[in-house]
Amino acid sequence: MAKKVVVASFALVIIACLFSGCKKFEKVGHLQDPGIVLTFDDDRIDNWYNYLPLLDSANVRATFYICKYNRFTPEQKRKLNEIKNHGHEIAFHSLNHYNMQDYVYKNKHTIDDLMRCEIEAGLKMMNQDGYYPTTFAYPYGAHNGLFDKILMRYFKSVRALNGTQDFSKSVVPTQHNDVLYGLGIDKSSNRRDQDVISILQSAKNNNGCVVFVAHDINSGSKYSVTLHRLQEIFKFVKENNLKYYTAAEISE
Ligand SMILES: [Zn+2]
């Protein structure tokens, strides 16, 4: 009798699964794939837009943390929309890109001022144009536990910077993250390509996800990631079946 019940239950699960397309199960399996979150900061719309075909060619889905939205021209807004339409995440990086620690503790603004002027005012402008960012990156990585806690009322995760030599801090689980520590890959980081590749290898070995931070793509600025480095990353990701996640996806 018990055996019959088990068999019947199993059959029901199979039938339910067929009808639902096993969406739930697929999603769980999918989220456990090791991967990479490639993030770009600031307001470098024109530069990023020019490299959309490159990102498309490697099937990259990246996260763009946007600041100074109030200064975007209509043309830059059109470009941002196109970046979004290519499957990238449009995230938030404050309105004026102030160092938030300095804003409060050095320049003596209140935290309420900070939230109103740098977070809510910027989000409101983006909301009016149909963007609803769910993740945040701190300008200069300047944060503390109190800011993290308050910003969690607005966002699913906040990204600071990994200023240590402990690269493992930037390899995180593929879900449920709240504070991320991105590892810089711009020229200014003075990192070697082989270090960048070895952290990708570590993400793969640990079934985790590495969070990288860049600004421009292949420009003259020291705050830009070289084309060579990006291509090395794309190659490793492809050859090792890593998955591109957005910051929002690993913060669910
Ligand atoms: Zn920035």
Separation of CA 172 and ligand 1 centre (Å):
21
Q: What's the 42 CA to ligand 1 centre distance in angstroms? A: 5
Question: Distance, CA 215 to ligand 1 centroid (Å)?
Answer: 8
Q: How far is the CA of 96 from the centre of ligand 1 (A)?
A: 10
CA of residue 120 to ligand 1 center, whole Å: 18
Q: Ligand 1 centre from 94 Cα, in Å?
A: 9
The answer, yes or no, to whether residue 173 has pLDDT greater than 50, is yes
Whole-model pTM: value is: 0.88
The CB density around residue 69, as the number of other CB atoms within 10 Å, is: 26
- What is the average pLDDT across 213-226? 98
Per-residue pLDDT, 4: 53
Q: Determine the pLDDT at residue 165.
A: 87
Higher pLDDT, residue 13 or 145:
145
Q: Which of 185, 63, 198 is closest to 131 using CA atoms?
A: 63
Environment class of 2 (CB within 10 Å of its CB; exposed 0-12, middle 13-18, buried 19+): exposed
Ligand 1 geometric centre to CA of 139 (Å): 4
Overall average pLDDT of the 47-65 stretch:
98
Long-range contacts of 232-240, Cβ-Cβ distance < 8 Å, separation of 24 or more: 232/193, 232/196, 232/197, 233/36, 233/38, 233/185, 233/196, 233/197, 233/200, 234/58, 234/60, 236/197, 236/200, 236/201, 237/35, 237/36, 237/58, 237/200, 238/58, 240/200, 240/201, 240/204
Q: What is the pLDDT of residue 31?
A: 52
pLDDT, one tens digit per residue, over 14-26 is 444 444 444 444 4
pLDDT of residue 32: 79
Q: Tell how far the Cα of 151 is from the centroid of ligand 1, in angstroms.
A: 17
- Quick check: 214 and 225 in contact, CB under 8 A? yes
Separation of CA 239 and ligand 1 centre (Å) = 31
Alpha carbon of 103 to ligand 1 centroid (Å)? 15
Q: Contact at 8 Å (CB) between 69 and 125?
A: yes
Query: What's the confidence (pLDDT) of residue 22?
Result: 43
pLDDT tens figures, 102-161: 999 999 999 999 999 999 999 999 999 999 999 999 999 999 999 999 999 999 999 999
Ligand 1 centroid distance, CA of 140 (Å): 6
Q: How far is the CA of 111 from the centre of ligand 1 (A)?
A: 20
Cα 137 to ligand 1 centre (Å): 8
Residue 28 has pLDDT above 70, yes or no: no
